[in-house]
Every structure is written in structure tokens, then in C-alpha cells.
Amino acid sequence: MRILVTGRSGFIGSALAPALEARGHELRNEGVEGCDAMVHLANIAHAQVDRGLLWKVNVEGTLRAAESAANAGVRRFVYLSSVKARERDDEYGRAKLAAERALEELKSRMQIVILRPPLVYGPGVRANFLALMRAIARGWPLPLASIRNRRSLVYVGNLCDAVAACLESAGAAGKTFYIADGEPLSTPALCRAIGSALGRPARLFPFPPKLLPFDRLTGSLVVDDAALRADLGWKPPFSLEQGLSATAAWYRSR
């Protein structure tokens, strides 16, 4: 299959390109003409930017990319959205949902598939996950022992495998899927798993969760990826331990 991947140089794109090539697909670097499919990753990945810029890139830019694909005769368009489109609790999530709705207009001309991942981790990860890894690797005490939550997450290698399934499976056309590594984890359990991968036990101490300023670590966010597994026969090729081990190896090599 001839595939154009937008955002190829980013965290997910840099893992997706070799994963697709390893499956025998041909990746195009310039232009959508002659492509069978497009994977659209090129978005602003956070909400701490001007709202106008966020919507211009994540909504208008997504629709323009999809329209160019449809005009070129591309058969399938895979859009990497976010679980935040379901939550709609910040401008980023609202923009993702608006992009999804804009793509509905093109479903009569092209097969649209939408993936809604939760937090994605792996080699090259940035932002909150990297900050948490750094704190654990440096042995910093963290006030997270009292948190009782459940959060889904997905290793970038598993996400790339799911994108490939969405490209290759006839059963994916027109559907929206959630994806996760497996059972959700509490924040303390995630910290302990990261510490195990790094060879540095996480130093957690109890503290009232209501007094912590970061809801992304204290709140729950669980996704159900049963449809992805049932409709496409998908299962994650990497375990949580394998994903964290690869991430820890990358972190130590920096």
C-alpha cells in the first residue's frame, strides 16, 4: 500500500514510519497523488497555545488534508484523534472533536477511520510522562502514594500496530476506535512500574490527593478498546513491561 504520513518527524510519526515499512508498505514523502491511504498525525499536541492557532492547525488543517486526499482518490484516511475528544474538558479536546465532526462530511467520498488514544508513551516521549520518569530516575520523593485512580495508557509501538490494522482491515472503514495497552493502572502503580524499568524504585509518600495541583495524575481516565479488538482482531504486540523497558532504555541513553 502507498501511504502518506503527515507529522512523520514527530514522536508518533517517527515510530510509525518504520513500523509501516516493516510491514511492506511504501511511504511517500511528498504529495498525496498516487497514494492509497493517508495517516494524519500533524497536529498541535497540547492546549497551551493560542486558540485560533490550535483550531487553524487541528481542525482546519485536518479538513484540508482530508479534502486533498479525497480529491486525489485516496481510499482510506486514518486520523489520530485523542481520548480528549470524548472528555472535551479543554480546548485541545474540543478541537479534536471538531476535527472528527468535520471529517464526517467526507465519509461518502473516502473511508475515514479515527483512533482515540489516551496518554502515549515510548522512546522520545515528552511532557508529563518524561517529567515523571525524570523524577523517579533521580530518586525524588513524590506525594502520590494516596492516589486511588485508574488511567489507561498506550505504548507507541502498540499504537503504531493499531494504525497499521486500521489501514489494512476492511472492517475498520467508517469507525472510531479507542486503544490501550490493557488494564488501566493507578498512578502509584505506574510509578512503581516505571521505577522497576529504570532500576530505581519509586519513592512515594502519602499526601491528600485533593491538595495536589495536577489533576492529570490524580484523576481517572479509562478507555474501552473492545471494539478495536473485536472488529479488527487486534491485540497489543507489546506488554506494559516491554513498553516501559524500551522507554527506560531510551531515557538512559539520552
Helix (H, G, I), strand (E, B) or coil at 45: coil
- Return the SS3 of 88: coil
Q: Looking at residue 59, which CATH number applies to its domain? A: 3.40.50.720
pLDDT for residue 157 is more than 90: yes
Top-confidence residue, 129 or 218 = 129
Our count of domains for the chain comes to 1
pLDDT of residue 47: 59
Residue span of the structural domain in which 98 resides: 1-116
The answer as to whether 241 is a domain residue is: no
The C-alpha cell 479507542 sits at 178
Q: What is the sign of the dihedral through the CA atoms of 148, 45, 106 and 175?
A: negative
| Residue 183 placed within a domain | no
Residue 137 lies in a domain: no
Band (80; pLDDT cuts 50, 70, 90): very high
- What number is the average pLDDT over the span 176-202? 97
Bridge-based pairing of strands 2-6 and 111-116 is unpaired
The band of 216, judged by pLDDT with boundaries at 50, 70 and 90, is confident
Question: Looking at the domain assignment, is residue 93 inside a domain?
Answer: yes
What band does 254 get if pLDDT is binned at 50, 70 and 90?
A: confident
Q: Is 132 inside any structural domain? A: no
What are the residues facing 78 on neighbouring strands? Answer: 39, 113
The answer as to whether 221 is a domain residue is no
Rounded-to-5 percentages of helix, strand, coil across the chain: 45, 15, 40
pLDDT in tens, 36-77: 999 999 998 765 678 888 899 999 999 999 999 999 999 999
> Could you tell me the pTM of the whole model?
0.95
Has residue 150 been placed in a domain? no
Residue identified by cell 488543517 is: 61
CA 63 distance to own-chain centroid: 19
Share of the chain above pLDDT 70, in %: 98
Sequential DSSP letters for 122-180: STT--HHHHHHHHHHHTT--BS-TT----B-EEEHHHHHHHHHHHHH-GGGTT-EEE--
Count Cβ atoms within 10 A of the Cβ of residue 65 and give its class: 0-12 exposed, 13-18 middle, 19 or more buried: buried
**pLDDT at residue 6, as a whole number:** 96
**Is the pLDDT assigned to residue 217 strictly greater than 80?**
no
pLDDT tops 90 at residue 31:
no
Q: Which of 27-31, 127-131, 177-181 has the highest mean pLDDT?
A: 177-181
- How confident is the model at residue 88, as a pLDDT? 73
Question: What average pLDDT does the chain have?
Answer: 94
Cell (9 digits) for 169: 482491515
What are phi and psi for residue 143, nearest 5 degrees? Answer: -85, 55
Percent of the chain at pLDDT > 90 equals: 85
Q: What is the pLDDT of residues 92-110, one digit of tens each?
A: 899 999 999 999 999 999 9
| Mean pLDDT, rounded, for 181-191 | 96
